[in-house]
C-alpha cells in the first residue's frame, strides 16, 4: 500500500460499508485516477520487505466474460491468489507482475470479427503457463496457427466430453466427463503444434495442449458447477502445470494483514463505521485484533435497520471485541428528514446527508483519528475501473446516497480490497464473528426506507420491520437462508379489502421478495416451497397488526430490480 496520505473519496457516501453501498462510492468515477493508481498498483503490494502471500499470483485476462470473477474465485478456492486484469495488458507488464500462470477468460465476441478483443501475442512466448477458456482457447489457438469458425452445431448447456489423450491438465479423469458448454464458435483446426486432449460429439477440440509450450485450452467452462470435474482441472493447471504452492490461505492473510495494519497505523487512531453488515464487521474485527484500543467504531442507528440488527452489532463489538463503540441514536433525525418524502431518490439523498452529518459529528468528537477504515471488496475495486491493469469499469446500477464534505480528511484503510465476498465471510468466521453477522443477507444503505414504498413513518417502519423479521425467521427455519441471496419484506402503499372473523378489513399489503443471485447484477426470484410461503403469509397476517394480505414477488432482475425502490 502506498505510504502517501490518501485523500478521502470526495463525493457520495462511503462510510456505510455494505457491498451494495459501495456501489455508491464509485458513482461517477469519484476516485481520482491518479490516487487510484498510486493506491492500486499491484506492484506496490509487494513493497513491504515481507513476501506477501498474494505475491504468488495467477492473472485472469478478462475478455468480457460474465464468468471472469467466478474464474478468479475458483482459483482462490484452490488457495492460489488471483487477480483480474484487462485483456490487452502488455506482455512486458505481465513479465513484471511475474504471475505463475495466466488464464484467458471467455467472452461474447468472435475472434475473427474485426475489433474483437485480443491479447498481446507475445504473452504466449513468456514461458508462463496459459489456460484459455472458451473464447480464450479460441484466441490462443488462432494466434498460434489454428482456425476458428462458427459452428452449425452450437453447444449450450451440458455435454459429454471424451478424454482422448493422457495429460497433466485432465489428470485423474478418464472416459466420459460431463462439462458445461456455451459457444457458437469453436476451433475447427489446430496447427500441428497442438494436440487434442478431449472431444465432444460435435467439438473435436474440447481440450487441447501445445506440444512444446505450456499452453492449454478448454472449450468448456471448468469454473461453473455444471462441470463437476472443473475443480480437478483447475487444480491440475495450478498445481501441476503452474507449480503454485497454494499459499493463499485466509488464516495467513489475516495474520499478514494484521501485521501490516499494525505497522501502518502505528500509534494513531482508526475510525471504522459499522453498518450491521458483514464487510464492516470483518474490517472492524481485523482492526480490533491489530490495534485493539486504538480503534473507534461508529454505528449510526438510523432507525432504518432490520429487527435486532443494531443490538447484535452492539453486543458483538462491546462484549466480544470490547471496541470503543460510539452508537449515534439518530432515529428521530432520520424520520424528520424523511417526513413527507415519497420519491425513492430523494429518500436516498436525504438519508445520505443525514448519515454523513451524524457520522462526521461523531468522528469529530474522536480525538486523534487519522485513518478511516472501509470494507471495500475486490469486486468493487475492479468495477470502479480504477486499477492500473484492471478491466475497464463495468456499467453498473449505482445508488448514490449523498455527498461527503470536503473537510473530512482521513487516510483510507481498506483491508478487504483483495477479497471476494465469500472470502470475507470465511475470514469473519476465522476472526470469531458469529454466523448471524457473517451470513446476514446484504442490506441497502438506505435500509428499510427503500422497502417501504411511499412515506416513511414510525408506524409503517414497525409494520415492515416485524413482517421482515418473520420472512427471515421462516426462511432460516426452512434451512434456506444460505441458499437464498436476499430475502425481505416490502410494505406497499396499498390497502386491500379482507375479512377477519366476521368483520371486513381494509389494511396494508406486504410483498415478500426472495432472490437468488451470484453478483446481484442479475437475479432470479427464489422458487421457495409453497408450504414456506404459506407459513410466512399466515404468520405475517396473524402477527403483524394492520396487514391483511401477503403477495410473493415473482420478478427476475432484469427487468425488475431487487429492491422495489
Select from 442, 457, 480, 551 the one that contacts ligand XMP (CB under 6 A): 442
> Is the Cβ of residue 213 or residue 272 nearer to ligand XMP in the bound state?
272
557 binds ligand XMP (CB under 6 A): yes
Could you write out the DSSP letters of every residue in 371-386?
A: EEE----HHHHHHTT-
Instruction: Of 12, 209, 225, give the one whose Cα is nearest residue 124.
Output: 209
486 binds ligand XMP (CB under 6 A): yes
Half-sphere exposure of 372 (CA within 13 A, CB side): 23
Which amino acids are annotated catalytic? 134, 221, 223
Residue 68 CB, shortest distance to ligand XMP, in Å, is: 19
> What's the length of the chain?
565
Residue 364 CB, shortest distance to ligand XMP, in Å, is: 24
Q: Please report the beta strands in 25-76, taking only residues with DSSP state E, as ranges in sequence order.
A: 57-62
Stretch that binds ligand XMP, among 15-23, 70-78, 326-334, 537-545 (CB under 6 A): 15-23
The neighbouring-strand residues paired with 145 are none
> Three-state SS across 440-501?
CCCCCCCHHHHHECCCCCHHHHHHHHHHHHHHHHHHHHCCCCCCCCEEEEEEEEEEEEEEEC
107 binds ligand XMP (CB under 6 A): no
- Interhelix angle 530-543/458-477, rounded to 10 degrees, is 150
Q: How far is CA 73 from CA 82, 105, 217, 235, in A?
A: 8, 13, 19, 13
Q: How far is CA 493 from CA 31, 455, 456, 514, 517, in A?
A: 38, 8, 10, 20, 27
274 binds ligand XMP (CB under 6 A): no
214 binds ligand XMP (CB under 6 A): no
Instruction: Give the rounded distance of the alpha carbon of 142 from its chain centre.
Output: 33
Rounded to whole angstroms, the Cα distance separating 105 from 133 reads 5
334 binds ligand XMP (CB under 6 A): no
> Is the Cβ of residue 44 or residue 517 nearer to ligand XMP in the bound state?
517
Residues 143 and 232: beta-carbon distance below 8 Å: no
Residues 184 and 153: beta-carbon distance below 8 Å: no
448 binds ligand XMP (CB under 6 A): no
Stretch that binds ligand XMP, among 263-271, 313-321, 418-426, 437-445 (CB under 6 A): 437-445
421 binds ligand XMP (CB under 6 A): no
Stretch that binds ligand XMP, among 16-24, 127-135, 257-265, 421-429 (CB under 6 A): 16-24
Stretch that binds ligand XMP, among 70-78, 115-123, 407-415, 443-451 (CB under 6 A): 443-451
103 exposure class (CB count in 10 Å sphere: 0-12, 13-18, 19+): buried
Q: What is the CB neighbour count within 10 angstroms for residue 234? A: 25
Residue 302 CB, shortest distance to ligand XMP, in Å, is: 13
Select from 446, 475, 525, 541 the one that contacts ligand XMP (CB under 6 A): 446
**Helix (H) / strand (E) containing 33:** helix 33-40
280 exposure class (CB count in 10 Å sphere: 0-12, 13-18, 19+): buried
Residue 280 CB, shortest distance to ligand XMP, in Å, is: 12
21 binds ligand XMP (CB under 6 A): yes
20 binds ligand XMP (CB under 6 A): yes
> Is the Cβ of residue 339 or residue 397 nearer to ligand XMP in the bound state?
397
445 binds ligand XMP (CB under 6 A): yes
350 binds ligand XMP (CB under 6 A): no
Q: With the CA atoms of 186, 187, 188 and 193 taken in that order, what torsion angle do they form, in degrees rounded to the nearest 10?
A: -170
Nine-digit cell string for 392: 475497464
380 binds ligand XMP (CB under 6 A): no
Rounded to whole angstroms, the Cα distance separating 199 from 151 reads 15
401 binds ligand XMP (CB under 6 A): yes
447 binds ligand XMP (CB under 6 A): no
> Is the Cβ of residue 260 or residue 565 nearer to ligand XMP in the bound state?
565
217 binds ligand XMP (CB under 6 A): no
Select from 8, 17, 24, 128 the one that contacts ligand XMP (CB under 6 A): 24
* Beta-strand relationship, 369-373 and 269-274: parallel
356 binds ligand XMP (CB under 6 A): no
399 binds ligand XMP (CB under 6 A): yes
> Is the Cβ of residue 175 or residue 559 nearer to ligand XMP in the bound state?
559
The neighbouring-strand residues paired with 81 are 57
> Is the Cβ of residue 217 or residue 276 nearer to ligand XMP in the bound state?
276
85 binds ligand XMP (CB under 6 A): no
260 binds ligand XMP (CB under 6 A): no
Select from 17, 18, 97, 136 the one that contacts ligand XMP (CB under 6 A): 18
Rounded to whole angstroms, the Cα distance separating 487 from 527 reads 12
Stretch that binds ligand XMP, among 25-33, 87-95, 288-296, 397-405 (CB under 6 A): 397-405
520 binds ligand XMP (CB under 6 A): yes
Rounded to whole angstroms, the Cα distance separating 76 from 116 reads 29
Stretch that binds ligand XMP, among 39-47, 296-304, 319-327, 442-450 (CB under 6 A): 442-450
Q: How far is CA 541 from CA 90, 158, 492, 494, 526, in A?
A: 61, 44, 14, 15, 21
487 binds ligand XMP (CB under 6 A): no
List of residues contacting ligand XMP (CB under 6 A): 18, 20-21, 24, 348, 397, 399, 401, 442, 444-446, 450, 486, 520, 557, 561-563
Amino acid at each position: 500500500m502506498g505510504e502517501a496520505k490518501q485523500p478521502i473519496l470526495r463525493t457520495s457516501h462511503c462510510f456505510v460499508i455494505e457491498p451494495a453501498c459501495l456501489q455508491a462510492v464509485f458513482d461517477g468515477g469519484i476516485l481520482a485516477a491518479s490516487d487510484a493508481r498510486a493506491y492500486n498498483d499491484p506492484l506496490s503490494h509487494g513493497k513491504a520487505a515481507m513476501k506477501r502471500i498474494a505475491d504468488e499470483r495467477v492473472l485472469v485476462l478478462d475478455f468480457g466474460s460474465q464468468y471472469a470473477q467466478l474464474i478468479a474465485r475458483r482459483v482462490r478456492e484452490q488457495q492460489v491468489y488471483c487477480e483480474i486484469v484487462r485483456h490487452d495488458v502488455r506482455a512486458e507488464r505481465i513479465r513484471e507482475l511475474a504471475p505463475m500462470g495466466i488464464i484467458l477468460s471467455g467472452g461474447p465476441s468472435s475472434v475473427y470479427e474485426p475489433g474483437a478483443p485480443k491479447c498481446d501475442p507475445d504473452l504466449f512466448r513468456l514461458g508462463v503457463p496459459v489456460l484459455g477458456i472458451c473464447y480464450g482457447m479460441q484466441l490462443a489457438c488462432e494466434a498460434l496457427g489454428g482456425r476458428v469458425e462458427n459452428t452449425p452445431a452450437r453447444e449450450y448447456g451440458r455435454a459429454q466430453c471424451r478424454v482422448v489423450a493422457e495429460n497433466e491438465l485432465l489428470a485423474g479423469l478418464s472416459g466420459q466427463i460431463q462439462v458445461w458448454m456455451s459457444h457458437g464458435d469453436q476451433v475447427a483446426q489446430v496447427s500441428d503444434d497442438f494436440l487434442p486432449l478431449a472431444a465432444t460429439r460435435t467439438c473435436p477440440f474440447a481440450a487441447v495442449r501445445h506440444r512444446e509450450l505450456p499452453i492449454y485450452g478448454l472449450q468448456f467452462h471448468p469454473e461453473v458447477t455444471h462441470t463437476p470435474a472443473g475443480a480437478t482441472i483447475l487444480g491440475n493447471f495450478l498445481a501441476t502445470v503452474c507449480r503454485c504452492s497454494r499459499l493463499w490461505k485466509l488464516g495467513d492473510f489475516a495474520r499478514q494483514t494484521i501485521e501490516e495494519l499494525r505497522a501502518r497505523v502505528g500509534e494513531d487512531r482508526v475510525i471504522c463505521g459499522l453498518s450491521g453488515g458483514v464487510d464492516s464487521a470483518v474490517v472492524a474485527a481485523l482492526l480490533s485484533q491489530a490495534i485493539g484500543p486504538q480503534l473507534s467504531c461508529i454505528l449510526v442507528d438510523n432507525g432504518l435497520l432490520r429487527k435486532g440488527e443494531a443490538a447484535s452489532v452492539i453486543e458483538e463489538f462491546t462484549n466480544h471485541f470490547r471496541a470503543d463503540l460510539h452508537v449515534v441514536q439518530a432515529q428521530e433525525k432520520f424520520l424528520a428528514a424523511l417526513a413527507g418524502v415519497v420519491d425513492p431518490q430523494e429518500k436516498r439523498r436525504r438519508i445520505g446527508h443525514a448519515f454523513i452529518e451524524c457520522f462526521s459529528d461523531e468522528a469529530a468528537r474522536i480525538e486523534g483519528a487519522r485513518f478511516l477504515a472501509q470494507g471495500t471488496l475486490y469486486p468493487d475495486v475492479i468495477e470502479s475501473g480504477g486499477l492500473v491493469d484492471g478491466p475497464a469499469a463495468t456499467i453498473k446500477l449505482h445508488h448514490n446516497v449523498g455527498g461527503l464534505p470536503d473537510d473530512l480528511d482521513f487516510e483510507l484503510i481498506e483491508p478487504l480490497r483483495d477479497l471476494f465476498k465469500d472470502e470475507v465471510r470465511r475470514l469473519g468466521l476465522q476472526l470469531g464473528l458469529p454466523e448471524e453477522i457473517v451470513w446476514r443477507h446484504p442490506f441497502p444503505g438506505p435500509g428499510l426506507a427503500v422497502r417501504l414504498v411511499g412515506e416513511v413513518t414510525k408506524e409503517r417502519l414497525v409494520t415492515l420491520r416485524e413482517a421482515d423479521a418473520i420472512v427471515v425467521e421462516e426462511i432460516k427455519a426452512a434451512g434456506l437462508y444460505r441458499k437464498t441471496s436476499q430475502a425481505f419484506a416490502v410494505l406497499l402503499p396499498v390497502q386491500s379489502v379482507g375479512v377477519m372473523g366476521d368483520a371486513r378489513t381494509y389494511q396494508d399489503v406486504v410483498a415478500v421478495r426472495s432472490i437468488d443471485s451470484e453478483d446481484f447484477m442479475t437475479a432470479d426470484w427464489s422458487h421457495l416451497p409453497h408450504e414456506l410461503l404459506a407459513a410466512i403469509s399466515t404468520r405475517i397476517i396473524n402477527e403483524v397488526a394492520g396487514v391483511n394480505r401477503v403477495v410473493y414477488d415473482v420478478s427476475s432482475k432484469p427487468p425488475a430490480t431487487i429492491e422495489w425502490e
